[in-house]
Amino acid sequence: MTDAKTQIQETITANNVVLFMKGNKTMPQCGFSSRVAGVLNYMNVDYTDVNVLADEELRQGIKDFSDWPTIPQLYVKGEFVGGCDIITEMMLSGELDTLLEDNGVAFDKDAADKIREANG
């Protein structure tokens, strides 16, 4: 797992926002990955997607790295934020906006507000 751990660390260090997911941002391969990617895409967040289905060592490695059993997993500025349920809750409460703002990550605030209006 050393190779996967090194790859994960380098990826989250080199990119402001990283989503480890099943599939990719344009073609998610599971509903949970699709939901998180959909939120980030709609909010115009610039993020790096990592398809864990392409590499079994990476797929298990990210779970071990974060000590989190499920995928997708979102990282902002090298810090693990959470999976689908946590990101959904943070989106709806406005906490995701705050997290992105506090870390200098650009996003479309109007789009974030529209998501909350549609789900309110």
Binding positions for [2Fe-2S] cluster:
30
CA distance 116 to 120: 6
| Residue of 69, 73, 79, 8 whose CA lies nearest to 40 | 73
CA distance 53 to 56: 7
Going by the annotation, the residues of the binding site are: 30
Phi first, then psi, for residue 70 (nearest 5°) are -120, 165
Q: Please give the C-alpha separations between residue 12 and each of 92, 94, 108, 113, in angstroms, as whole numbers.
A: 25, 23, 22, 27
